Amino acid sequence: MWRVSCRALVVASVVTLVPQAAWAEVSNRSNVGFIVTVNLAVAAPPETVYASLTRHVAEWWDAAHTYSGDSKNLSIIAEPGGCFCEALADGGGVQHAMVVNVAPGRLLRMSGALGPLQASAVTGTLSWQFEKRGSADSTLVVTYVVGGYASGGLDKIADAVDTVITRQAQLLKRHAEEARGRR
């Protein structure tokens, strides 16, 4: 518990000193769950970031975090009940998460246990929130709330999940900023 509190204190101190550039943290860590939060400033408007997430996931998602080894097999159907899915070469597929809340340009929320979490009795809620910052920039806040049963406890994998979610958020940021530059 002290390690989490100390890390949160360090993150809070850095956030206070650096004007909302970026931060990530694992909070409320226990053997039955955790919360990962990533906060990034993006040099693109919320609508562009949202479009990069929903219409171009195959262009920026890290292929190392797919079942097929190829991000081009990913898609997101951005409507309630829609699928964040991956096609597999043998005609199979993977549902990474189900879309449960859509507010274009503001929020995309999905429910699902990503990656190796699928094999456990775990539920996860992944929220991608976009807020306008200045005249043409955004703040991207990604939150992944995970709870349930995993052999050995969820607290032991929280840092690895934080690393993966943070990396995906950074890749989305880069894609959105490059998309803005192509306009």
Q: List pLDDT tens digits, range 3-51.
A: 333 333 333 333 333 344 578 899 889 999 999 999 999 999 999 999 9
Confidence band (pLDDT; 50, 70, 90) for 183? low
d(CA 139, CA 178): 16
Average pLDDT over residues 76-95: 97
Domain residues for the domain of 149 are 2-181
Q: Are 26 and 156 in contact (CB under 8 A)?
A: no
Residue 16 sits in a domain whose CATH number is 3.30.530.20
Neighbours of 46 (CB within 10 A): 23
Task: Look at residue 21 in the predicted model and tell me its pLDDT.
Answer: 59
Q: What is the pTM of this model?
A: 0.86
Question: How many domains does the chain divide into?
Answer: 1
pLDDT digit string (tens) for 48-82? 999 999 999 999 999 999 999 999 999 999 999 99
The Cα 139–Cα 99 span in angstroms is 21
Yes or no: say if 68 and 75 are a contact pair by the CB < 8 Å rule: no
